[in-house]
Amino acid sequence: MYWEQEIETMPREKFLEVQLAHLKGSVKKASASPFYNRLFQEIGFDPESIDSLDDLRKIPLTTKDDLRENWPYGFLAVPRDELIRMHSSSGTTGRATVIFHTANDINEWTNIVARSMYMTGMRKGDVFQNMMTYGLFTGGLGFHYGAEKLGALTIPAGSGNSKRQIQLIRDFGTTTIHIIPSYALHLYTVFEELGIDPKRDTELKRAFLGGEPHSERTRKKVEELYGIKAFNSYGLSEMNGPGVSFECPYQNGMHLWEDNYIVEIIDPVTTEPVPEGEEGEMVLTTLLRDGMPILRYRTKDITRIIPGPCECGRVHRRIERIKGRTDDMLIIKGVNMYPIQIEKKLMEIPGVGTNYLIILEREGYNDNMIVKAEVEKEFFSGNLKQLENLRRRITEELKSDILITPKVELVEPSSLPRSEGKAVRVIDKRED
Amino acid sequence: MSSYQISIFAENKPGRLAKVTGILGREKINIRAITISSSDAFGVINILADDPERAKKALTKEGLTVSLKAVVAVVIEDKPGGLDKLIQVLSENEINVENAYGFVLESWEKAVFVVDVDQMEKTQDLLERAGFETLDADTLAAVEPFHYMKY
């Protein structure tokens, strides 16, 4: 029932001692990095002075901007030749954030991914099909390594190509899939087209849903359509990736592996901690990462800690399904993006006016992004072909930047609604 | 001689054309010919009118995005093969037609074919040499379409 019974189920007081020991180690390790070394000196903080978990709060919060400004090696706490892997966050403003891992970091990360999967009932003998993009995105390799460690036959299917996915599921008796929830819903329509009933004609037992926030309704829908259990998964590349937090069979919140991370929930405005059980921004600290320890990282994800123990007996507390983001990041088909990215690209293209609007719609089970861009008055020469070329250029440039093909519509100058104060740039019509 | 066509950038939705015709009607500008080419969510309304300058001013004032575009208005015979005679000349000289439309001036006598081409000057020269009559803005404004003559 447990991958590591002791660390998963030890009494809370004893567990907190383990956590404190890990924290002391992590702060000490972090002080070897140029960023934290400088920071600790600036605030007069002694990395040896952590005596309690509360002492963590003496250290200022770390933000994504800090990661960017110290790109690429400013957070490294080990010599570069200790590193064996890098990952990078998906579609971000400006420079991507890069995370480096030592061999030991990969082992620790792999272990918590395996622990997460094991928790849901996956075992040696299961066949695991990973339908996530492999590459810089952590959802591919992160799950892959975890599944292999667990001992499951692992099919690195990658994303897309629905017919092949279904073929693989059928040919090799896939029992477990890792999939983006919106894609799971789409894939079902392909099952239907092929006249294959996943309930009757496959061995599927469970799905790990990750890559994008989704509602309880979407989960239920996936479970009903496929006749399986669907488990919510949370992670972010700055904290390794998948495996940070995962649902157990009780499916009531995600256990956050507190031997690997310290979780705090803060008020995003005052940055003060909120009372346990209240909603706020999640802040995470790595405890077992050697290559690139990050202390008190602002995830910008809004959630709360579910008070009280879980029936499964694990000592690791649970967080609730992510409610949203503190900023305006958009997640479309599992890809993160900011309206500002689109703005930046649009403004580089001659002929595009100053105002634009992003509309997100759900068509069937697919997310669509419509970008309405005003044409510059002077640009118009009465030629439809010229407009079409402009539209094509915008589509191509956005696609290469955000990796999603938007539907671009050119609109008349000054025709988009202008609001006072902060412009409404995004209209999200997706229901979940 | 070249003539001027009023091109209006418009989103492809109800009311856009009505706005244009409303303004032109109020300004007593006569429309000789009109075509609309659209590409999904947006399009271009092309209008040949008796007073393109004034039309442009009126439409721009109402916030529309307008451009005056030089086109060649060629007088052709309104009979079978009339258009073909013109198009064969353009084709032989490798002139590419971007957009075109026509209207009848005098039934079974004369029609006007308006072409938007990639090589304006060359086209005008060779049409002249081939003996075609082309209309400029003023002569176009002055022509009386057939129904005025008949009634």
Maximum pairwise Cα distance, chain B: 45
Q: Residue written as tokens 């010919």?
A: B33
Query: In this prediction, what percent of chain B has a pLDDT beyond 90?
Result: 54
Q: Does position A93 have pLDDT exceeding 90, yes or no?
A: no
pLDDT reported for residue A185? 83
**Nearest CB to A382 within list B7, B11, B42:** B7
Which residues of chain B are in CATH 3.30.2130.10 domains? 3-70
Task: Give A212-236 as a DSSP string.
Answer: S---HHHHHHHHHHHTSEEEEEEEE
Architecture of domain B71-150: 2-Layer Sandwich (3.30)
Per CATH, A5-327 and A331-428 having the same topology is answered: no
Structure tokens that stand for B56 in this block = 């442009």
Query: How distant, in Å, are the alpha carbons of A362, B36, B68, B92 from that of B39?
Result: 23, 10, 20, 30
Lowest mean pLDDT among A99-113, A352-366, B45-59, B86-100: A352-366
The DSSP code for A273 is: B
Query: In this prediction, what percent of chain B has a pLDDT beyond 70?
Result: 92
Q: Does position B27 have pLDDT exceeding 70, yes or no?
A: yes
Between residues A213 and A347, which one has the greater pLDDT? A347
Give residue A35's region: left, alpha or beta (phi > 0; psi -120 to 50).
alpha
Q: Please give the mean pLDDT across all residues of chain A.
A: 91
Q: Which of B3, B35, B8 is nearest to B20 (CA)?
A: B8
Which residues of chain B are in CATH 3.30.70.260 domains? 71-150
What is the mean pLDDT of the segment spanning A284-304?
96
pLDDT reported for residue A200? 96
CB contact under 8 A, B65 and A382: no
Is B9 part of the contact surface with chain A (CB cutoff 8 Å)? yes
CB contact under 8 A, B10 and A412: yes
- C-beta of residue A243 within 8 angstroms of C-beta of residue A146: yes
Query: How distant, in Å, are the alpha carbons of A123, A183, A215, A299 from that of A329?
Result: 36, 20, 17, 12
**CB-neighbour burial class of residue B54 (10 A; exposed 0-12, middle 13-18, buried 19+):** middle
Q: Does position B121 have pLDDT exceeding 70, yes or no?
A: yes
Superfamily of domain A331-428 in CATH is ANL, C-terminal domain (3.30.300.30)
pLDDT band, residue A92 (cuts 50/70/90): very low
pLDDT reported for residue B143? 64
Quote the CA–CA distance of A28 and A49 in Å, as a whole number: 10
What is the mean pLDDT of the segment spanning A292-308?
95
- C-beta of residue A300 within 8 angstroms of C-beta of residue A331: no
CB contact under 8 A, A410 and B10: no
Rounded to the nearest angstrom, the minimum Cα separation between B4 and chain A is 11
- The answer to whether the peptide bond before residue B52 is cis (omega within 30 degrees of 0) is no
pLDDT band, residue A432 (cuts 50/70/90): low
Give A249-275 pLDDT, tens digit per residue.
Answer: 999 999 999 999 999 999 888 899 999
Helices (H), chain B: 16-26, 52-61, 82-92, 120-129, 137-142, 146-150
For strand A127-130 and strand A153-155, is the pairing parallel, antiparallel, or unpaired?
parallel
A-chain CB neighbours of B39 within 8 Å are 384, 387-388, 391
Dihedral pair phi/psi, residue A421, rounded to 5°? 75, -140
Question: What are the extents of the domains in chain A?
Answer: 5-327, 331-428
ipTM above 0.90, yes or no: no
Q: Does position B151 have pLDDT exceeding 50, yes or no?
A: no
Architecture of domain A5-327: 3-Layer(aba) Sandwich (3.40)
pLDDT reported for residue A343? 78
pLDDT reported for residue A151? 98
Name the fold adopted by B3-70: VC0802-like (3.30.2130)
Interface of B with A in 16-45 (CB under 8 A): 37-44
Q: Does position A129 have pLDDT exceeding 80, yes or no?
A: yes
Number of residue pairs across A and B with CB atoms under 8 Å?
A: 53
What is the mean pLDDT of the segment spanning A296-301?
94
Q: Does position B149 have pLDDT exceeding 70, yes or no?
A: no
A-chain CB neighbours of B70 within 8 Å are none
Quote the CA–CA distance of A44 and A189 in Å, as a whole number: 59
Between residues B130 and B105, which one has the greater pLDDT? B130
DSSP SS3 for A359: strand
Q: Does position A346 have pLDDT exceeding 60, yes or no?
A: yes
Rounded to the nearest angstrom, the minimum Cα separation between B103 and chain A is 20
- C-beta of residue A87 within 8 angstroms of C-beta of residue A241: yes
pLDDT band, residue B144 (cuts 50/70/90): low
- C-beta of residue A343 within 8 angstroms of C-beta of residue A329: no
pLDDT reported for residue A4? 97
B-chain CB neighbours of A390 within 8 Å are none
Quote the CA–CA distance of A291 and A183 in Å, as a whole number: 34
Query: Scanning every residue of chain B, which has its alpha carbon at the shortest distance from the alpha carbon of A414?
Result: B63
Rounded to the nearest angstrom, the minimum Cα separation between A381 and chain B is 5
Query: Model-level pTM?
Result: 0.63
For strand A280-286 and strand A297-303, is the pairing parallel, antiparallel, or unpaired?
antiparallel
What is the mean pLDDT of the segment spanning A335-347?
77
The DSSP code for A364 is: T
pLDDT band, residue A189 (cuts 50/70/90): confident
